Amino acid sequence: MLSVHIICVGKMKEKFYIEAAQEYVKRLGGYCKLTVTELTEERLPADPSQAQIDAALAREGQAIRAKIPPNAAIVAMCVEGKTCSSPELAAQMLRFEQDSAKHVVFLIGGSCGLDSALKQQARLRLSMSPMTFPHHLARVMLLEQIYRAFKINEGSSYHK
């Protein structure tokens, strides 16, 4: 069974996001060993300089790296990543299963994004859309798309 990790910067507080995420976590239980890790977002002043943002992203990057298991295929969720359809993500998940990677790790940054070094380290940089979404909503969307990928790969009618 594939081990899927989602490492997120920022903690969910809104009940509706928490409930939606919990539903997909429950559904994914039959398809993979899922771990969702929330890390604290670095605090920044009201009008941070680029240097302050870069320093915060670097600290968040260190915390993220500490949670990435060995032999992991890293997928960085970032605006400059490539977009793909649900069937394309399903095919990518199959490739991960067939590769030597023991873990697939999806990274979701906080409100300032992800450390550039982490994005460079990723096997895949993936974008949900050219639109901007709250990172908590992006987590729910990612969970749903991972679930959809497993359903596509099993030939279910879930994906219509």
pLDDT tens, residue by residue, 38-58: 999 999 999 999 999 999 999
C-alpha–C-alpha distance, residues 129 and 62, integer Å:
27
Domains of the chain listed by start with CATH number: 3-154 (3.40.1280.10)
C-alpha–C-alpha distance, residues 59 and 44, integer Å:
12
Element (H, E) at 39: strand 33-39
The residue among 44, 49, 106, 53 whose CA lies nearest residue 75 is 106
What's the confidence (pLDDT) of residue 126?
97
**Are residues 8 and 108 in contact, defined by beta-carbon separation less than 8 angstroms?**
yes
pTM above threshold 0.75: yes
C-alpha–C-alpha distance, residues 109 and 20, integer Å:
19
Task: Return the structure tokens found at 156.
Answer: 């279910």
pLDDT tens, residue by residue, 102-125: 899 999 999 899 999 999 999 999
**Are residues 142 and 77 in contact, defined by beta-carbon separation less than 8 angstroms?**
yes
What's the confidence (pLDDT) of residue 55?
96
Q: Hey, is 67 helix, strand or coil?
A: helix
Residue 58 Cα distances to 52, 65, 148, angstroms? 10, 10, 32
